[in-house]
Structure 1
Amino acid sequence: MSITESVKSAVGLAETSATRQEMSEARLPIQYRDSCAHLLIPLNRCRQAEYYLPWKCENERHTYEKCQYDEFKKRVAKMDELRAAKDGARSN
């Protein structure tokens, strides 16, 4: 494991199953190219196929939102861990 991979895993930004090439081909904006991008690609395809009807693609949307929520919880836990290591001192 390289230094970059170890830092990403420590922060909770592990590699996604979607490659950079796949994300580029799917025309995902940069801010959405995270660890849940592999779920966003089929969601966007479904949305386009179903003309963005809100009651369509519910399973894909809920799966993507669950992934985003889990990633948020990981970031919060990591931040709490870092604060505890600094005796509760804030970084700003």
Structure 2
Amino acid sequence: MTVTESIKDAAETVKEAVGLGHGHSAPTRPATREEMSANKVPLPYRDSCAHLLIPLNNCRYDNFYLPWRCMDERHSYEKCQYEEFKLRMKKMEEIRAEKNGARSN
């Protein structure tokens, strides 16, 4: 195995590890209403990314909200929020295309 092949293999391994369980594309399992209620997730944040917000809030609480302690959890949650935003914008563009470009007033 050459050096470039091993680098490519390592890069693929990292991409797979980052993709699993993080973000919107491969959620482990959506949080149930009971879990969100038990973890006191505010109503505006009870969306498809709540399964990532629960461990983030627990990490923040355990580490006295130190910003450098929960970077991985925060990144996962923010990535999920961004992916959800992109899906909403895509849906909005589809609706706008159906209306021949007309905007709602």
- Per the TM superposition, whether the score is higher than 0.5 is yes
Structure 1 unaligned spans of 5+: 1-15
Tell me the residue number matched to 2:52. Answer: 39
Q: 1:27 aligns with which of 15, 19, 40?
A: 40
CA distance in 1 between partners of 2:84 and 2:70 (Å): 21
Secondary structure, aligned partner of 1:39: helix
Partner of 1:83: 96
- TM-score, with length taken from structure 2: 0.72
Aligned mates of 2:76, 2:93 — CA distance in 1: 26
* Residue identity matched to 1:74: L
| TM-score, normalised relative to structure 1 | 0.82
- Structure 1 letter corresponding to 2:70: C
RMSD of the alignment, in Å? Answer: 0.8
> Shift of residue 80 of structure 1?
0.4
Tell me how far 1:17 sits from its aligned partner: 1.2
- Aligned-partner SS, 2:35: helix
Equivalences, count: 77
Within 1, Cα distance between the matches of 2:64 and 2:50?
21
> Is it true that 1:67 corresponds to 2:80 in the alignment?
yes
Distance 1:83 1:33 in 2: 27
Q: Partners of 1:29 and 1:60 in 2: how far apart? A: 18
1:85 deviation in Å? 0.5
Aligned amino acid, residue 36 of structure 1: C
Structure 1 runs (4+) greater than 4 angstroms displaced? none
